[in-house]
Structure 1
Amino acid sequence: MNFSINLNKIALIRDSRGSDNPSISDYAQQSIDLGVDGLTLHPRPDLRHAKPSDISMFDEICLKANKEFNIEGNLFSPSSKNYPGFIPLVNAHNPHQVTLVPDADGQITSDHGWKIEQLDNIFKSEVSKFKKNINHVSIFIDDDFSNFDKLNEIGINSIEIYTGPFAKVIKNGKKHEIHNAQNKISKIIESARLNNLKVNAGHDLNLDNLPYLKECGDIDEVSIGHAIIVDSLKYGFKDTINMYIEIIKK
C-alpha cells in the first residue's frame, strides 16, 4: 500500500498569516525524505489553502524525487480571479494521478462520491480533455457504488473510496457495525479489481482506523492529510509520519 500525504493543511496555516511560514515546500521535502510515496494537493477555486503556485512547486519536487504527484479537484470547476480552472491547472503540470471529486466550490471538505447519473457524456467529454500522459484518472466514490463497468467507458482507470463513513463506524467501536463496514469496503475492492481498476482510499483515515482498513483487502494507495497535522501537534511531524509509514507498510 502506498502512502500519499495531503499537505493542504500546511498551506491553510501558511495562508492564515499571509506569509511563507510554515513553508509547504519544506514539509513536502521532509515527507519525501521520511519515505512517503507521493504528495497530494486539492486546490479549490476560493484558494483557501493550496494555490496554483503550490501545484507547480510540488510538480517539480515530485519529478526530481521520482515520487507520485496527485492533484484532486472537481473537473467542472471553472476559472475565477486567480484560479485557472481545474482542467487547465492540471494540464499545465505533470501529475501522475488526478482524483476527481464532486465538491461544490465552497464546500468545506469532500463528503460524498460521484453518483452514476453524473457520469454522463458531458462528464466523459471533460475527462477526455486531460492530457494523455496522466497515468491514473481516479474518481471519488461512496462505499455503496456498484456501476464499475461504466468507469472504463468514460476514461476512468482508478477509484478512491470515500472512507468518511467507515472511519465513523470504527470510532464508534461496535463490532457488528465494524464487520459490516469492512465487508462493504471489501466488496468495493473486489468489484474494482474485476474491472481492472486501481484502488485508492481516503478521508478521515488515521492511526486508529488504518489497521481495520488494511484488513479489507488489497488497496493500492491511501491519501491522508488532516489527521497527520492533528497528530503532529501531539507527536511532532517526523514521528507522526514514521508512525503512519509503520502501519501502512507493515
Structure 2
Amino acid sequence: MTDRRPTRLSVNLNKIALMRNARGGGEPDLLRAAETCLDAGAYGITVHPRPDARHARADDVIALAALCRRRGVEFNLEGNPFADARPGYPGFLALCEQARPAQATLVPDADTQLTSDHGFDFVRDGERLRAPIEALRTLGCRVSLFADLDAAVEHAAALGADRIELYTGPYADAHARGEAASILAAAGRTARRAQAAGLGVNAGHDFNQANLGAFVEAVPDVLEVSIGHALVGEALYDGLAPTVGRYLRILETARR
C-alpha cells in the first residue's frame, strides 16, 4: 500500500475567542493558543469572524494574520461574503483585504446561526459568488467554497474557485450512530467529482478524534481539515499541544 498525500490540519480558534469574550479581557490569549498549536505541528490557523463578534473579532484577524506570516504558515479566514458591514465588522472582503489570508473559505451562514450548517447551492448562488471569488483571487487568496455532499461542485469550478470544503456535520452525526457508510460514499463521490473538475478538496465540521481517521481513509486526497470545537473541548482535559499531536497522528496513520 502506498502513501497518499498527507492531509493537513488547520486549527480553528473560534472557541478560544468565545471563552475569552465570555469574561472580557485577554484570557485565554488567542495568539498564545495559536503559537501552541503551531509549535505542536499544526499546518495553519483558521478563524471565522462573524458580524456579531461573538468570538473572533476583526482585531484578532489582523493579529493572527501577522502571526501566520511571521511563522510562514497558512492563515485560513472563513466568512460569508454577503454579510453586511457594521460597527466592529468591516465585511468579509474588507477583512481579507486587510489580512491577506492564504486561504479564504466562503460560507453561507446567516447572522442567526450558531454555527455553519450547510453549504452553498452552486446553481442558485453561482452568479452571485463570481464577483467575490474574483476579488479574493485578485488579493492573492486561494478560494474555497463550503459545499454539501453531492452538491453541484462542477459549478464551483466554473466560478473560479480553487477548492471546496466538504461540510461534514452529517457525517459526524451518522458516525456517532454507527451508520456512516452511505455518508462516506457520498463524500467520496463528491470529492472525486470535484477533483475531476480541477478543484482541491478540504473538509470540516464536527470532526473529532473518534471520527476523523475513518473519513480521511475513505475520502480520496483530502488536502486539509479544519477542526476547532471538538479539539478545544478535548484540550480542556488533555492539554492543547498533546491534543493537536493526537490529531496529527490520526492523519498520519490514515494516509497510509
Q: TM-score, normalised by structure 1?
A: 0.95
After alignment, is 232-241 or 90-99 more displaced?
A: 232-241
Greater relative contact order, per chain length (Cα 8 Å cut-off, separation 6+): 2
Query: 5+ unaligned residues in a row in structure 1: which ranges?
Result: none
Aligned counterparts of 1:74 and 1:121: Cα–Cα separation in 2:
15
In the alignment, is residue 79 of structure 1 matched against residue 81 of structure 2?
no
In structure 2, what is the equivalent of residue 242 of structure 1?
245
Q: Distance in 2 between matches of 1:156 and 1:57?
A: 26
Amino acid in the other structure paired with 1:171: A
| Residues 7-46 of structure 1: pairs in structure 2 closer than 5 A | 7-46=13-52
* 1:11 shift after superposition: 0.4
CA displacement at 1:178 relative to structure 2:
2.0
Q: Which amino acid aligns with 1:205?
A: F
Measure, in 1, the Cα distance between the counterparts of 2:94 and 2:121: 24
Query: CA offset at residue 149 of structure 1?
Result: 2.5
One-letter code aligned to 2:164: I
State the secondary structure of the residue aligned to 2:203: strand
* 111-120 or 52-61: bigger deviation: 111-120
**SS of aligned partner of 1:130:** helix
Aligned 8 A contact 1:3 1:223 in 2: yes
What is residue 76 of structure 2 aligned with on the other side? 70
Instruction: Report whether the alignment pairs 1:203 with 2:168.
Output: no
Match of 1:227 among 208, 225, 230: 230
Equivalent position of 2:3 in the other structure: none
Matched, 1:181 2:174: no
Pick from 43, 50, 53 the counterpart of residue 56 of structure 2.
Answer: 50
CA distance in 2, matches of 1:128, 1:105: 24
8 Å contact 2:80–2:107 — kept in the other structure? Answer: yes
Q: Per-residue deviation at 1:133?
A: 4.1
Structure 2 unmatched runs, 5+: 1-6
Please tell me whether the aligned partners of residues 108 and 120 of structure 2 are also in contact (alpha carbons under 8 angstroms).
Answer: yes
Deviation at 1:131, TM superposition (A): 5.0
Aligned pair partner of 1:115 in 98, 116, 121: 121
In the alignment, is the contact (CA less than 8 A) between 2:65 and 2:100 conserved in 1? Answer: yes
Query: Is the CA contact 1:98–1:134 (under 8 Å) kept in the aligned structure 2?
Result: no
Consecutive aligned runs of 4 or more in structure 1 exceeding 3 Å deviation: none
The residue identity in structure 2 corresponding to 1:123 is L
> How many angstroms does 1:123 deviate by?
2.1
SS across alignment from 1:92: helix
- Size of the alignment, in residue pairs? 246
Match of 2:170 in 1: 165
Alpha-carbon distance between aligned partners in 2 of 1:110 and 1:52, rounded to the nearest angstrom:
19
Q: CA deviation at 1:121?
A: 2.2
| 8 A contact 1:94–1:134 mirrored in 2 | yes
Rounded to whole Å, the distance in 2 between the matches of 1:169 and 1:122 is 32
Say whether the 8 Å CA contact 1:91–1:131 is kept in structure 2: no
1:91 corresponds, among 94, 97, 108, to 97
What is the percentage of aligned positions where both structures have the same residue? 38
- Paired with 2:141 and 2:57, the residues of 1 have a C-alpha distance of 23
Q: Which amino acid aligns with 1:92?
A: Q
Gap change, CA 1:135 and 1:201, over 3 Å in 2: same
CA deviation profile, 1:54-76 (whole Å, cap 9, x unmatched): 11111111111110000000010
Distance 1:215 1:181 in 2: 13
Q: CA deviation at 1:128?
A: 2.2
RMSD, matched Cα: 1.2
Distance apart, 1:200 and its partner CA: 0.3
